[in-house]
Amino acid sequence: METIAIALITLGGIMLLGLVTDLLGRHTPLPRVTLLLAFGFLIGPSGTGLLPEIAPELFYLLSSMALVMIGFLIGGTLTRQMLRRHGRRVLTISATMVLVTLIFVGVGLTLIGVPIEVALLLAGISTATAPAATADVVHEIGAEGPFSQTLLGMVAIDDAWGLIAFTLVLAFVHVLNGDGATTSVMLHGLWELVGALALGALLGVPMAYLSGRISAGEPLQAEALGMVFLCGGLALWLEVSFILAAMVMGAVVTNLARHHRRPFHAIEGIEWPFLVLFFVLAGASLEIDALWAAGAGLLGYLVLRVLGRLAGAWLGGSLCGVDAAQRWWLGLAMLPQAGVALGMALIAAQHLPTLGQIIIPVVVGATVIFEIAGPVLTRMALRYAGEVPNAAHSTNGH
């Protein structure tokens, strides 16, 4: 009984913390995502150690639930109207940013003496972003306009590009090592992408049909949550990208459903408590020792990834005729990096254990910095882009 009591007290305290961060986020330059991560870090093992030990399985469950909801909501922004207006811009800038970041990090790390296999793997990992953090900042301050739409579209597709880049890099590193695992790596990467697209489409069609026939309120909320969690569970079971599958399902629903906004409003009404738990526990999992363990490799990775993002956004934006000032801000807005990058690092460590000992400290250390500082830069970018309304200090749906 004592264990249950501690667990309930902990969950209650973390939920109430969400109210405090919401209030602070309105009156400080810090987004609530950063505040939640910082607080989690403070009470976690690397801080004061006040947070009771959380089973890894519970954290993975909560993070999966939060991320699959975020994926669904981001997919909901990919309407036909948005794609007609910003589709070319989104695809061009996101693809260019991934390619330029890959080149900057890979070549740069090699030039400063990092082994080429490690440099290539870190380059592939550097292309990943943090959809949850970026999307929450946009929604928190109620940002609206072409810049925000482009940013959300880029977040929706960026990890798909990143997954393709990482799969190709991992296969190439296997070729360099001569271990003959190239085909299996390529097939697994292909399945992770194509399987996610197929699953999202297959579930999105019946969900779009149901959404116009189930009354608003609790029945619709149960239907929306049921389909979203079903999508996440099936994706994990099939070993495909559950974020991408949820995004595709959301995109199908928003373009086919008769009352297409209803299921998204239902998810928006319940997602914030899950995000509070996710970000606090993510902050608690960050290890300050990783910053020191990574050493010079971490510093090189940080600088080169920032330069790659900025240069990629500038080049991609110039190809699409985006205003010169906004090109730089798009690069800064896409700096957050979290769970997807850590997942890639773990995959690399599974395939190449000796290299994983070098890669994981760098990626974990970078996550500490990018996940806490990144949302601050995203908010700054949205403000300088002029898309934060006068009531930007209030939230919009959490």
pLDDT at position 398: 40
**Helix, strand, coil percentages, rounded to 5, for the chain:** 80, 0, 20
CATH number of the domain at 117, please: 1.20.1530.20
Angle, alpha carbons 51-56-62 (nearest 5°): 85
Is residue 272, in this structure, part of any structural domain at all? yes
Is residue 390, in this structure, part of any structural domain at all? no
Is residue 392, in this structure, part of any structural domain at all? no
Is residue 171, in this structure, part of any structural domain at all? yes
Q: Taking a C-beta distance cutoff of 8 angstroms, is the pair 92, 320 a contact?
A: yes
Task: Count CA atoms closer than 13 A to 344's CA, side-chain side.
Answer: 33
Q: Taking a C-beta distance cutoff of 8 angstroms, is the pair 248, 200 a contact?
A: yes
Distance CA 33, CA 276 (A): 8
pTM over 0.85: no
CA distances from 99 to 80, 122, 192, 278, 334 (A): 26, 13, 20, 30, 14
pLDDT at position 260: 54
pLDDT at position 306: 92
Element (H, E) at 184: helix 182-211
**Nearest residue to 245 (alpha-carbon basis) of 11, 15, 75:** 75
Q: Taking a C-beta distance cutoff of 8 angstroms, is the pair 330, 339 a contact?
A: no
Domain count, the chain: 1
Q: Taking a C-beta distance cutoff of 8 angstroms, is the pair 397, 268 a contact?
A: yes
Q: Taking a C-beta distance cutoff of 8 angstroms, is the pair 242, 287 a contact?
A: no
Q: What is the pLDDT along the chain (398 residues), one digit of tens a residue?
A: 566 777 777 778 777 877 777 677 666 666 677 777 778 878 777 777 777 666 566 767 777 787 788 778 777 777 777 677 667 788 888 888 889 999 999 999 888 888 888 889 899 888 888 777 777 788 777 777 778 878 887 877 777 787 778 878 877 777 777 665 566 666 776 787 788 889 999 998 888 877 656 555 556 677 788 888 999 899 889 888 787 888 889 888 888 876 656 667 667 667 677 777 777 777 776 666 666 666 777 888 999 999 999 999 889 888 877 777 777 888 888 888 766 777 677 677 767 777 767 787 788 778 778 877 888 888 888 888 777 665 444 434 44
Is residue 225, in this structure, part of any structural domain at all? yes
Distance CA 109, CA 105 (A): 6
Is residue 397, in this structure, part of any structural domain at all? no
Residues 6+ apart with CB under 8 A from 196: 235, 240, 241, 242, 244, 245, 248
The position carrying tokens 């995004």 is 247
Is residue 28, in this structure, part of any structural domain at all? yes
CB atoms within 10 A of CB 135: 23
Q: What is the dihedral of CA 229, 235, 241, 245, to 10 degrees?
A: -60
* DSSP 8-state secondary structure symbol assigned to residue 165: H
pLDDT at position 230: 92
Distance CA 294, CA 292 (A): 5
Is residue 335, in this structure, part of any structural domain at all? yes
How does DSSP assign 333-390, residue by residue? Answer: HT----HHHHHHHHHHHHH-HHHHHHHHHHHHHHHHHHHHHHHHHHHHHHHHTT---T
Domain that residue 92 falls in: 2-384
